[in-house]
Chain A
């Protein structure tokens, strides 16, 4: 590429100097929940594969996924799924340049946190 002059340019202040805020925490949680859902997704695929293979294999996968640890992972993943879903809706709203004012963004943040907890409890009760 032609004459791109990259010298020692000053860096902008980085993450560590900022006080954690609702907006920043809910933002990083979106990324963490989305990527952490891989574990539950792979467990689910394994469960389907076991069910399609044989009753013995299914018994193994079912025992793992409904064990205490399995329950814990699936419960946490259920919350992560609802959290990521609601945070995704928030992004779809933001994509239209709507709801970006701080007071509204804060309200949306609380809505995502409270909404995901509520949806998790409701889902566990219904299922």
Chain B
């Protein structure tokens, strides 16, 4: 005899197991990046190839530093969440878990390295 009805077994057990949480997180990040990316491109872009002194001066100003820091945080989290979807489609089993963990760790490492560098230049 089965104790669970078919419906009860299905409730809350969509393929994600967490409803639309991942989707909604990425949607919020994408709207944030819609604002941040143009700001970052037109602050960071002109500094590529600029002399070291000019770069240090520029990113010690509040606006470019804050834009760059926010882009690091939201951008790398968005990458981690998006790459997870890619991995879930093409890698399966234990390898899937391992690769997702590695990509997530890499994203956080890059994010905080960027934040550290920006903080050091700005402060």
Contact = CB atoms under 8 A, between A and B. Distances in A.
Given A81-B41, A88-B34, A49 B113 contact: yes
Interface of A: 1-3, 31, 34-35, 37-38, 41-42, 44-45, 47-49, 51-53, 55, 58-59, 62, 65-66, 74, 78, 81, 85, 88-89, 91-92, 95, 123, 126-127
A31 B27 CA distance: 15
Given A38-B79, A49-B113, A88-B30, A44 B44 contact: yes
B2 interface: yes
Given A51-B52, A62-B49, A44 B86 contact: no
Q: Which 8 pairs across A and B sit closest by C-beta, in order of nearness?
A: A48-B117, A52-B120, A52-B117, A127-B45, A45-B114, A49-B117, A66-B49, A58-B52
15 contacts: A31-B86, A35-B83, A38-B83, A41-B110, A44-B44, A45-B113, A45-B117, A59-B52, A66-B48, A81-B37, A85-B37, A89-B34, A91-B30, A92-B31, A123-B41
Given A2-B9, A37-B79, A55 B52 contact: yes
Contact of B55 (A58, A85, A89): A58
Interface string B105-123: 0000010011011101100
Interface in B69-123: 72, 75-76, 79, 82-83, 86, 110, 113-114, 116-118, 120-121
A93 to B, nearest CB: 12
A42 B86 CA distance: 19
Given A45-B113, A59-B52, 4 more contacts: A37-B79, A41-B79, A66-B49, A127-B41
